[in-house]
Amino acid sequence: MSPEKMTRMANQIATFFESQPDADKAGSVAAHLKEFWEPRMLEKLAAHLKTGGEGLSPLALEASKRVTA
């Protein structure tokens, strides 16, 4: 999976939760990632974060950090 595709998918999820009233939006995004993304995909996300997480929206970035921590 190309980094662009991965960041687009993560950003799409973040965009949805951005609009929700959830108190902890990053937590909701992280929970969604954990629920639906296979570990290989999360590993790729972690690797992408290591190199700066380019292209991830601020909320997606925050959530990615939590889910890969």
Residues that bind other proteins (CB under 8 A): 1, 5, 8-9, 12-13, 15-16, 19-21, 32, 35-41
Q: CB-wise, 39 or 52, nearer to other proteins?
A: 39
Q: CB-wise, 17 or 53, nearer to other proteins?
A: 17
CB of 64: closest distance to other proteins in angstroms?
A: 15
How many Cα atoms are found within 13 Å in the side-chain-facing hemisphere of 16? Answer: 11
Q: CB-wise, 36 or 54, nearer to other proteins?
A: 36
